[in-house]
Amino acid sequence: MSNTTTVQSVDRAIAILEILARDGATRVTDLAVELEVHKSTAFRLLAALEQGGLVEQSGDRGRYRLGFGVVRLAGAATAQLDLSRESRPVCLRLAEEIGETVNIAVPQDGDAVNITQARGPSAISGHNWVGQRTPSHATSSGKVLLAFGALRLPAELTRYTPHTITSAAALRLDEIRERGWAAAVEELEVGLNAVAAPIMGGDGSVVAALSASGPSYRLTKERLAQVGELVADGAREVSQRIGYYR
């Protein structure tokens, strides 16, 4: 299948979801007419969406409606939006207090993905981490997500700098759980240090990590413990804001 055909199929599948959201249960023939495609094409697209749980057949024979898979996706998107919104004031305050860049990262497909960022007054880099995937073993956020079970440790630990930890035992995930925060010292980039702490969801599981990062000459090894406690306090506040109570 060519790239053009694939994109066209995706566009049509999205159009089907929009039609069903607008009209409710709809016949295949009506969908085909609105999409200006053959009925067999509409059937094929519906079958793919049905397999993914995004549409389902209604009680009326030949009619389709939105499936519960859409609810699942919407719930995940809403949760991430809630996390981003509720964490924002905490991130801004911490960025001002610590003077460095503060991020929120969530687990996704084995990596830590940053969803929001606040830059402190001392931050000298204009680098935007939002939307970027970062490796779990080489970042403070990733280590937190690994330590608390939100991510699984990959079989092979890639080395990014001379300081990257490439041994599972050397990550000391049990110590991170006990201490309540993790640090990364020039492990992803030379000259960049970071600390992170876990954010708990309403059910008590770790859903994200709050981190502070900055240049190693300013966010020094000696300063990591102090900043780690500040980040841990901030992460606990975000946890409470999104519904976690202990």
- Report d(CA 195, CA 227) in Å as an integer: 7
Q: Are residues 44 and 82 in the same domain?
A: no
Q: Within a domain: residue 73?
A: no
Q: Within a domain: residue 49?
A: yes
Q: What's the pLDDT tens digit per position in 28-85?
A: 999 999 999 998 998 899 988 988 888 888 766 678 988 877 766 665 555 555 788 8
Q: Which two tokens stand for residue 233?
A: 């306090």
**The total number of residues written for the chain in this structure:** 246
Q: Within a domain: residue 104?
A: yes
Q: What's the pLDDT tens digit per position in 165-178?
A: 999 999 999 999 99
Q: Which of 137, 136, 187, 126 is nearest to 162 (CA)?
A: 187
Question: Domain ends where: 13, 33, 66?
Answer: 66
Residues forming beta bridges with residue 111, ordered by sequence position: 108
Q: What's the pLDDT tens digit per position in 99-125?
A: 999 999 999 888 998 888 998 877 655
Question: Domain ends where: 28, 44, 66?
Answer: 66
Mean pLDDT of 4-14: 80
What is the reported pTM? 0.68
Mean pLDDT of 211-219: 94
CA distances 139 to 55, 114, 134, Å, are 39, 12, 7
CATH code of the domain covering residue 45: 1.10.10.10
pLDDT band at 131 (very low <50, low <70, confident <90, very high): confident
Backbone angles phi, psi at 108, to 5 degrees: -155, 120
With contact defined as beta carbons under 8 Å apart, do 112 and 133 qualify?
A: yes
- Give pLDDT, residue 23: 87
- Report d(CA 186, CA 130) in Å as an integer: 20
Amino acid of residue 169:
A
Task: Count other C-beta atoms under 10 Å from residue 217's C-beta.
Answer: 8
How many domains is the chain partitioned into structurally? 2
Q: Are residues 204 and 87 in the same domain?
A: yes
CA distances 46 to 8, 14, 72, Å, are 14, 11, 18
